A = this chain, B = another copy of it.
Amino acid sequence: MVSTTWAPPAPLVAHPPPSRPSGDVPSAAPPAIDVAAAQRYMEGHDHATRAAVLDVMASSPTFRLVAGESKEVERQRTAARWSELAAAGVFVNTITSADPVAGRGKLDAVHETASLLDYSLCIGMSVHFSLFGGSIAALGTPAQAAAWLPGVEALTMRGCFALTELGHGSNARGVETEARFDAAADAFVLHTPSDGAQKYWIGGAAFTARWAVAFAQLYLPGEGDSRGVHAFVVRIRADDGAPVPGVLLADCGYKVGLNGVDNGRIWFTAVPVPRAQLLARYARVDAAGVYSCDAPSPDALFGVTMGALSGGRIGIAASGVGQARVALAIAVRYGLRRRAFAAAPGAPETLLLDYPMHRRRLLPRLATTVVHQGCLNDLKARWGGRLSAKDGHVASCGYKALMTWHALDTMQVAREACGGQGYKSENRIAVSRAALDISATFEGDNTVLLQQVAKACLATYARGVKAGGRFGGALTHLNRAPPPPPSVGTVAFAVHTLQRAEASLLPRLAAAIAATSATPGTTSFDAFTAHQVAADAVARVHTQLLLLASFTSSVAAAPASTRPLLETLGTLHALAVLDDNAVLLCTGALSSADAAAVHGAMDGLCTALRPRAAELADVMTIPDFLLAPIAFDVVAHNSRARL
């Protein structure tokens, strides 16, 4: 026996609506939350698809949670789960949809719902559909897309996304895999020149994938320099699973989580790839070996080549928020049943959530989680057209970094808030956190992503300076003198404070970089690098401002019955952003008296929300079968009778 299966505490049941914890919630406060409407707000879009996925997961034994398996068994289970979802038709009309926005929405809904149960399943699917399929859609010609996407959607063409190499991760532009055009063969020759250039971490490459979109430096006959990174559709395995000649595949081995994804390594040894398999929407090579490219510059070409990752990053952020919601739903419900300590021996013990410290650990994080969910839904709604590629890129970088870190922190605190039970595999939080951990560094390392945000701010700022001090985009607030401060416990106050901080930090950063650049021999790379720590602070402040703006517009558009709740949680989130954010104090954007007021206001709001904690757990929108034994009657679950 290498594994044990844990059964959910109740028989698998139809999912909505989550039941109220039967713990003793004070009933004094009227239930002012319209839970059903709030749940729809949290889901955001494609409710029917989400319900369909939940139905499959709730009713099939394949989706029971299991601990302690080998990676081989976990991978088989992940594959079986994926097949059952496919059989239910949830992938139909996603990447082949005539309406790509609708197709993407449906696919996102599938991935997000799957990730509430199994992050490996979500990542395995999204590598295939969003990265492999997404690259074909984004970088292929219409003819290439038409030829391949149906097979990708139908899972007859199983693919992986082969960008990262052992030697190059964040710096994807530095990959060393070579694609040399051979006119006689009318093919590119794909080759791994060194062990450092082996493709590494490629999800699906160890077992499942038959195809890859492989990224390589393109070399044309007679040219010594690469034309930059290009994407090729490459067979890596025959249908029977055997690697094709010239392709060597290996397993990346055990990770601390996510072992349902078969990450692998790939070496290419002079593998011929037909000319028609270069994804040729932006750049192409004709039969004579003549290269043409529509992108205005190598930088621009690299930018569009990496385009599939932007949407992917939103997906990673969404999975993080979803898993934080699971953890919070479990921890809040546990806090409404679990008691510890009493005023006197024999007196009834206090519910955990009646401890101010316990509320303080959970509720502000719950508020931020709701805000993040609202912002993601808002961003996705704007993604399909109403957002410039640049704004989309900046938001995807900033959101992904702050949201995944927030999710990891929240899951850590939620696990600790459940004490020892939070550490048990069957109670999900700790195991999910170990899986989600990778989200801080993949599909863009968070630290590196924040640098992208800072660079975008600097560019917008520089344009504003050039325009004689008229700032555009997200920096228009720099054009006006700061208004008088609103009162402390409001979202407006947080916006005001963060804008003041940005108005102080960003010009200083720009000036510092300019000063460093003035030294002869200093590249712009060096000058930015020298001020990374300050740039990181700018990026965080800027992203927080983007989030507050997005949430505010999302609340304005939300059903009236949800608004009181969302406004309260928005305020608590805004306070939490200000609290313990020392950089705001360093800049003087927040005075120490206001900081103290913020700190106090948080306590007040957490206390005010206490009577609604059970409904707040429901607002997390997690059906019972995705919760954990400790979200129900933990004594009954552990009873002697059940041994």
Binding site for B on A (CB under 8 A): 1-4, 6, 67-68, 70-73, 164, 166-171, 173-174, 194-196, 198, 200-201, 248, 250, 252-257, 259, 265, 267, 340-345, 349-350, 355-358, 360-361, 408, 412, 415-416, 419-420, 422-426, 430-431, 433-434, 437-438, 440-442, 445-447, 451, 523, 525-526, 529-533, 536, 579-583, 585-588, 591-592, 595-596, 599, 603, 634-636, 638-640, 643
Q: Which residue of chain B lies nearest to A356 when distances are taken between CB atoms in the complex? A: B532
Task: Report the separation of the CA atoms of residues A68 and B67 in the bound assembly, to the nearest whole angstrom.
Answer: 11
Tell me if A533 and B357 are in contact (CB < 8 A).
yes
Tell me if B635 and A341 are in contact (CB < 8 A).
no
Tell me if B3 and A70 are in contact (CB < 8 A).
yes
Q: Return chain B residues, CB-CB under 8 Å to A431.
A: 256
- Which of B166, B267, B437 is the one whose CB lies under 8 Å from A635? B166
Q: Return chain B residues, CB-CB under 8 Å to A255.
A: 423-425, 430
Sample of 7 A–B contacts (CB below 8 Å): A2-B73, A198-B640, A201-B420, A248-B640, A250-B643, A356-B533, A357-B536
Tell me if B196 and A635 are in contact (CB < 8 A).
yes
Known: A6-B253, A256-B425. 13 other contacts (CB 8 A): A170-B340, A248-B640, A250-B643, A255-B430, A256-B430, A343-B525, A344-B525, A356-B529, A356-B530, A357-B447, A533-B603, A586-B596, A587-B596
Tell me if A424 and B254 are in contact (CB < 8 A).
yes
Tell me if B424 and A438 are in contact (CB < 8 A).
no
Q: Return chain B residues, CB-CB under 8 Å to A638.
A: 166, 195, 198, 200, 265
Q: Return chain B residues, CB-CB under 8 Å to A342.
A: 171, 174, 525
Task: Report the separation of the CA atoms of residues A586 and B342 in the bound assembly, to the nearest whole angstrom.
Answer: 32
Tell me if A445 and B419 are in contact (CB < 8 A).
yes
Q: Which residue of chain B lies nearest to A598 when distances are taken between CB atoms in the complex? A: B586
Q: Return chain B residues, CB-CB under 8 Å to A419.
A: 169-170, 441, 445
Q: Which residue of chain B lies nearest to A585 when distances are taken between CB atoms in the complex? A: B585
CB proximity of A215 to chain B, nearest CB, Å: 15
- Which of B70, B250, B585, B643 is the one whose CB lies under 8 Å from A1? B70
Task: Report the separation of the CA atoms of residues A253 and B341 in the bound assembly, to the nearest whole angstrom.
Answer: 27
Tell me if A588 and B582 are in contact (CB < 8 A).
no
Task: Report the separation of the CA atoms of residues A200 and B350 in the bound assembly, to the nearest whole angstrom.
Answer: 21
- Which of B170, B355, B581, B595 is the one whose CB lies under 8 Å from A529? B355
Tell me if B250 and A532 are in contact (CB < 8 A).
no
Tell me if B525 and A640 are in contact (CB < 8 A).
no
Q: Which residue of chain B lies nearest to A249 when distances are taken between CB atoms in the complex? A: B643
Task: Report the separation of the CA atoms of residues A636 and B194 in the bound assembly, to the nearest whole angstrom.
Answer: 11
CB proximity of A70 to chain B, nearest CB, Å: 4
Q: Provided the pairs A174-B349, A423-B441 are in contact, do residues A635 and B195 lie with their beta carbons within 8 angstroms?
A: yes
Q: Provided the pairs A166-B638, A635-B196 are in contact, do residues A523 and B343 lie with their beta carbons within 8 angstroms?
A: yes
Tell me if A426 and B253 are in contact (CB < 8 A).
yes
Tell me if A437 and B420 are in contact (CB < 8 A).
no
Tell me if A71 and B72 are in contact (CB < 8 A).
no
CB proximity of A503 to chain B, nearest CB, Å: 15
Q: Return chain B residues, CB-CB under 8 Å to A422.
A: 441
Q: Return chain B residues, CB-CB under 8 Å to A164.
A: 420
Q: Which residue of chain B lies nearest to A580 when distances are taken between CB atoms in the complex? A: B582
Task: Report the separation of the CA atoms of residues A423 and B582 in the bound assembly, to the nearest whole angstrom.
Answer: 30
Tell me if B425 and A437 are in contact (CB < 8 A).
no
Q: Return chain B residues, CB-CB under 8 Å to A425.
A: 253-256
- Which of B200, B356, B579, B591 is the one whose CB lies under 8 Å from A582? B579
Q: Return chain B residues, CB-CB under 8 Å to A71.
A: 68
Task: Report the separation of the CA atoms of residues A247 and B310 in the bound assembly, to the nearest whole angstrom.
Answer: 58
Tell me if A441 and B420 are in contact (CB < 8 A).
yes
Q: Return chain B residues, CB-CB under 8 Å to A412.
A: 408, 437
Q: Return chain B residues, CB-CB under 8 Å to A341.
A: 170-171, 174, 525
Q: Which residue of chain B lies nearest to A446 when distances are taken between CB atoms in the complex? A: B416
Q: Which residue of chain B lies nearest to A578 when distances are taken between CB atoms in the complex? A: B582
Task: Report the separation of the CA atoms of residues A485 and B118 in the bound assembly, to the nearest whole angstrom.
Answer: 54
Task: Report the separation of the CA atoms of residues A357 and B447 in the bound assembly, to the nearest whole angstrom.
Answer: 8
Task: Report the separation of the CA atoms of residues A200 and B643 in the bound assembly, to the nearest whole angstrom.
Answer: 14
CB proximity of A24 to chain B, nearest CB, Å: 15
Task: Report the separation of the CA atoms of residues A360 and B450 in the bound assembly, to the nearest whole angstrom.
Answer: 15
Task: Report the separation of the CA atoms of residues A244 and B592 in the bound assembly, to the nearest whole angstrom.
Answer: 63
Tell me if A1 and B420 are in contact (CB < 8 A).
no
CB proximity of A360 to chain B, nearest CB, Å: 5
Q: Which residue of chain B lies nearest to A418 when distances are taken between CB atoms in the complex? A: B441
Task: Report the separation of the CA atoms of residues A73 and B200 in the bound assembly, to the nearest whole angstrom.
Answer: 30
Q: Provided the pairs A67-B254, A253-B425, A643-B250 are in contact, do residues A526 and B592 lie with their beta carbons within 8 angstroms?
A: no
Q: Return chain B residues, CB-CB under 8 Å to A4.
A: 253-254
Q: Provided the pairs A250-B643, A595-B586, A635-B167 are in contact, do residues A526 and B343 lie with their beta carbons within 8 angstroms?
A: yes
- Which of B415, B585, B640 is the one whose CB lies under 8 Å from A592? B585
Q: Return chain B residues, CB-CB under 8 Å to A343.
A: 523, 525-526
